[in-house]
Structure formats: structure tokens, C-alpha cells
Chains A and B, each alone.
Chain A
Amino acid sequence: MIQELRFILGDSWQRLVQQILHLLPNVLAMLLILVAGWIVARLAQWILHGMSARLNAKLRSWGISTWMDEYGRGGAAHLVARLAFWVFFGVSILMAINALHTEIGSRLVTSAFLYMPRLVTAALVALAGLLLGRYLARSALIWAVNEGIGPARWIAAGVRVGIGLLTFVAAAEQLAVARTAVLATFIILLSGIVLAAALAVGLGARKRLEQWLDRRESSLEQEHLEHL
């Protein structure tokens, strides 16, 4: 009995050792890939950082850094450098998982790669939404200030939230995440906003709108300033 137990334990230990020995090169390769990926990602980030002055100027000349400059330190180039780091490191993580040659790992990598186009599209939709929301919110803010409409910031915030919601729905649609639930929530929310706005205009804001138009008309009639 003891002999049999010893045999089973020995056999199990041997198989474990064999499995570890079988997997060890893959694990080492995974670690190596991760370290190399991290180094390459850092190197890319460092190079882009080094070129930040030139890169900032280039991005500015293309007209795409205006909005990015407003985030974080170092301007648009800083953001691009960080993005490059995560792209390189993200790819190295996937390669590292694949190096294990496990079924789960292979499935994960395949899914990730199959999901990539959706992810990229969703990221692009989110970026476009962010840009559009920012541009339109600022346009609305400046317009409201110049037209003398009281809650200029609220109007701008409303525009930003509206565009943000639309962007979220569009991105979720691309990612195929709870499509029905997201769409239903969005429709309910939008209907609520439209109803609230209609009631507000009907009940209270109409009077304010009339007052504003009267005020504007009378001030324009009073004033004959020739600006040019």
C-alpha cells in the first residue's frame, strides 16, 4: 500500500517536473518578450519625447494638436509618446501570452486580434466624438457669450454631454457591448431631455427668450456704431 502511494506521488512529482520543464522555455520566452516589449515601448516613448518640440510643431502645422495641447504637460507630443508606449507594450503582452502555447492563451490572443478592428473603430469613434464635442461645446460657449444668453456654460455643458452620449452609444455599438440595453437607455434619456427642453421652453424659457429678443432688438435700434 505504502509502496503504491510512493509510486503515485513519485509519478505525479515527475509529471509536474516534466510539465514545468516543458513549459519553462515558454515562460522564459514570455518573460523575455515582456521585458523586450517594455524596453522597445519605453524606447519609442523616449524617442518621441526627445522629438517633442519638432513633433509638437508638426502636429500643430497639421492642425491636430490644438485640442491635445490642452491635456497634460508637454503638449500633444507627450500624449502621442504615451500612446506609442501602450501600443508597443500591449502588442508585446499579446505576443507573450501566445508564447505560452496554451489553449486558453491562444484563444485569448485570437479573440483579442479578432476584436482589434472593433476596438480600433470604437477608439476612433470615441476620439472623433471627443473632438467634435469639444469643438461644438466651445463654439456654443462663445456664441452664447457674444449673443448675451445668460447660462453660456450650461449651454456648452449641454452640448458636450449630448455629443458625449451619442459618442458612447456609437462606440458601444462598435464594441457590440449590450447593444439593446445601451440603445434603449439612450432613447429613453434622449426622449427625456427633449421632453424636459420642450416643457422648459413652453413654460418658462419662452418668456426669457422673448425678453432677450426684445432687449437685443432695442439695444440694436439704440446703437448705430459703425465698426469698420
Chain B
Amino acid sequence: MAEKILQPETARALAAFGRADIVVGVPSFNNARTIGRVIQAIEVGLQKYFPQSSALIVNSDGGSTDGTREAALQARAEDSHLLILSHPLQPVQRLVTPYHGIPGKGSAFRAIFRIAELAEARACAVVDADLRSITPEWIELLLRPQLHANYDYVAPFYQRHKYDGTITNSIVYPLTRALYGCRVRQPIGGDFGFSGRLARHYLTQDVWDTDVARFGIDIWMTTTAICGGFRVCQSFLGAKIHDAKDPGSDLSAMLTQVVGSVFRLMETHESVWRPARGSRDVPLFGFRFDVGLEPVPVNLERMIQHFHRGLADLGEVWDLVLQPASARDLRSLARLSPQDFHLPDDLWVRVIYDFAAAFHARRVHPDHLLRSLTPLYMGRVASFVAETRESLAGEVEEKMEKLCLLYEQEKPYLIEQWPGSPAPQPEAPPDAAPLHSPSASPA
């Protein structure tokens, strides 16, 4: 299998390195501007917090042409004037490797999982290569729960502006929580920690020729960890700031990828989410502190216009997807002026559940279904922004909590509409411990 996932020279270099207690992966594609600092932060973090452990930093690159790989190799921790009191027993090793397979973040992660397996790593972490806010403390927070508390999966917990992460806040977090009963606040955060045995479990899954290899790896990792019965926790990392993205990047495509991944996972794990009721807290590590967040300008008028365009022109698609009551309630919003525009939470929840059920029933082509959600999502964001304009962060979180509870309360509505009988229970990994069980096997 190694030959299929890794290049022969990578496998040889890995054999020369030998074992590593810790593997930290950085998937990249044209991140020359930022990857050096990310590698420095990781190296300092490893030297400072895990001086006794052997460690390997892996840059899994997707064929960058801007010198990303050279930047990853040249970055040196000693350049930064840091006081590291404990001297590492072994130098942190570094490996830069192109990955095989379908181009995408998922394939890059697969190479990292394989390297972690070959190196017999006990704890692993992955961080984005375009991060600007990463500090050495992130490495400790993403790795210590596996090494010292037997956790298998560490999800990030960021301090974010109230208008940031709107797909996460309005769809992915509440839906994942209502489905699987686990309150992982940032299920698609991008920076994760995981144990060696979870890396091995990921490798055994038959998804590497699917869309998971291209996109959707983040939600797949979180959902697979939860549904596999692995011990899950969160670590507070502070603010997440990354390199500016292309402002013209297509929101519709992004929404299609993320929501499509969540809906596909619902089909895979139907037997897990169907009987689950309510939700439970997931332990949160790290010292929570307030971060000064930059204001986020939002063009409310444009969003409401987008919603109205959808209402005027996409009726033929929505009528196939939505239940008659939801479609009727949505149409009634057309009468509202932009100042009074409001998309109620309960209607939003029903819309998402209608879309999930229609996706499963293949009532409309999946791409059309998911892309037609964009105007509704814009309406939801506009409504949320208008409602929370004067609200403080705490009040916004309270509102979020109410939305999540609504998702949980309305779950029978989803089950009622979901066509077909429950799928057979996926096989749990033999060494998987029950969720949050303190008696989990050692990492």
C-alpha cells in the first residue's frame, strides 16, 4: 500500500528516519508566502513542549510552482529569537513529499496518515499551510490530549468574529451536532490533532477515490472519528487568520462541496444518526481568552437581493426539493421589505432537512440541488446579520445555541422524510473505545 500512496524516495527517506512519536503534517499548494512561518511555529512548538519525543514534520505538497517546497525545507526555527529552555533529545526531522492520487487536500492528508502509520506515531496533527496566526502553543494544544489524556481526535476551537464561519454556524455545526449528538464547535476547522490508531483507521476507509480525496476531508475526519466511537475533544486555539483568499472564489461551489460532503456522510452513517437523540458536550482544553477581532464588513442589501432572485427564478427546483409548507413559508418572505427581512430559524432548519432528504432521494440532480441552496443561505446570513447587528459575542452564542436546539427538536421531521430503511451498522474498529470513555485503550 505504501508504494501506492507514497513515492518510493519518500518511503526510503522515512525508513532512514525510523520511528517518530509525533508526526505533524502540513498540506500545501502554492503557499510559499506563509509555509515557512508555519513550519517554524511547528518546530518551536515541538522543541518547547515535546523535547523528549522524536518528531517528524511532513509537508505533503500538491505540486506547487511558487517554491513552497523549498520554503518548507529552508525555514529554520533558530531564526526566531526564542528562549527554549528544554533542549530536545533529537532534532525534529523534516520531510517534503508530493502526494499521489486525485489532486486535493484529502490525498495530501492520506499521505500524512500513511507516513504516521509507517513511523508508528502515537500522536499526529495537521495544520493549514496558509496560517498567519499559528503559534507554537497550537502544537501543544493539538497533540497533548492524545499523548497525555488518551484522546483520539482533537478538533480546533477558534475565537471568531460573529459573522465569520457562517456555513459552519448555520449548517455544519448545528446539523452535525443534531445528527451525531456531539458538540464539536468547529467540525471543519482545518487544523486537527489525532492519534496514531485513528490515522490507521482513516487509512482503512474506502474513500480515497471519492470526493473525500478532493475536498470535504475535514468534515469526513470529524464525522468518522465520532461515528467510529473514538474519543473526541477540542482545543482552544485563539483566532484563526490565514492568507487572503481570492475574493472572487465561488461561494456556490464552496457551499456545494461542504454541504454535499455532510449530506453524503449522512447517507453513510444513517444507522448512527437515526437513533441518536439530543447532544452532549465535548471536553474543551486550553485557556480561553478574548481576542481582538477585526470588524467584518457585510453587504446586507446584496444578500437579500440574491435571496429574492432565487425566490423569483428557482421555484421550479425548490418545489421539487422542499415540502409544500416550507415552500409556502419561503414565498411569504417575498412580501417583506429589505428592512423587515427575516428568515425564521425554524423555517431555516426545515429547509436544511428538506434539502438533506431530497438529496438522499435524488429528487433533483445533486449539483443543482446544492447550488440552488445558495440564495437561501444568503437569505439566512442576511437575516442573522440583521438580527445580531447590535449583539455581543455572548448573545450571538446564545442565539446559536437556540438554533442548535431547534435542529435537535426538529430531527424527527428529518427522519419522517428520509426515504428508505436504516443502512447496516458500519463496522467499528476493533480497538475503538466508546465515545468519551475514560477507559480507552492507551494511545
- Spell out A's residues near B (CB within 8 Å): 60-61, 63, 65-66, 69-70, 135, 138-139, 141-146, 148, 152-153, 219-228
Contacts and interface: CB of A to CB of B under 8 A. Distances in A.
15 contacts: A65-B362, A138-B365, A139-B367, A142-B372, A145-B374, A146-B374, A148-B309, A152-B313, A153-B313, A219-B299, A224-B297, A226-B161, A227-B166, A228-B188, A228-B254
Given A141-B314, A142-B371, A145-B313, A225 B298 contact: yes
B394 to A, nearest CB: 20
B297 A226 contact: no
Contact of A228 (B161, B168, B320, B372): B168
Interface in B334-368: 361-365, 367-368
B371 A146 contact: yes
Interface stretch (B37-45, B84-92, B137-145, B245-253): B245-253
Contacts of B160: 226
Interface string B181-220: 0000000101000000000000000000000000000000
A145 B305 CA distance: 10
B368 A69 contact: no
Contact of B299 (A144, A152, A223): A223
B363 A148 contact: no
Closest 6 CB pairs of A and B: A220-B247, A226-B164, A152-B313, A227-B167, A146-B252, A142-B371
Interface in B268-327: 296-299, 302, 305-306, 309-310, 313-314, 316-317, 320
B317 A227 contact: no
A135 B365 CA distance: 8
B103 interface: no
Contacts of B362: 60-61, 63, 65-66
A219 B305 CA distance: 12
A107 to B, nearest CB: 46
A145 B297 contact: no
A142 B247 contact: no
Interface string B142-178: 0000000000000000001101111110000000000
Contact of B368 (A60, A138, A144, A227): A138
A17 B255 CA distance: 80
> How big is the B interface, by class?
35 or more
Nearest to B319: A70
B374 A60 contact: no
A5 B232 CA distance: 111
Given A221-B247, A225-B166, A227-B251, A152 B296 contact: no
Given A227-B167, A228-B165, A139 B368 contact: yes
A58 to B, nearest CB: 12
Given A66-B364, A142-B371, A222 B313 contact: no
A98 to B, nearest CB: 43
A176 to B, nearest CB: 34
A141 B372 CA distance: 9
B371 A227 contact: no
A151 to B, nearest CB: 9
A94 B185 CA distance: 68
A217 to B, nearest CB: 8
Interface of B: 160-161, 163-168, 188, 190, 247-248, 251-252, 254-255, 258, 296-299, 302, 305-306, 309-310, 313-314, 316-317, 320, 361-365, 367-368, 371-372, 374-375, 381
A228 to B, nearest CB: 6
Contacts of A63: 362
Nearest to B254: A227
Nearest to A218: B299
B316 to A, nearest CB: 8
Given A63-B362, A142-B314, A146-B374, 11 more contacts: A142-B317, A142-B372, A145-B310, A145-B313, A145-B314, A145-B374, A146-B306, A148-B302, A224-B297, A226-B160, A226-B166
Nearest to A135: B365
Contacts of A139: 367-368
Contacts of A70: 320
Contacts of A148: 302, 305-306, 309
A152 B312 CA distance: 10
Contacts of A222: 297, 299
A203 B251 CA distance: 31
B363 A69 contact: yes
B46 to A, nearest CB: 27
A209 to B, nearest CB: 16
Contacts of B302: 148, 219, 223
Contacts of B190: 228
A148 B255 CA distance: 17
A63 B362 CA distance: 7
A144 B317 CA distance: 14
Contacts of A66: 362-365
B321 to A, nearest CB: 11
Contacts of A220: 247-248
A66 B364 CA distance: 6
A192 to B, nearest CB: 27
A65 B365 CA distance: 10
B309 A225 contact: no
A223 B297 contact: yes
A41 to B, nearest CB: 30
A228 B128 CA distance: 14
A84 B204 CA distance: 46
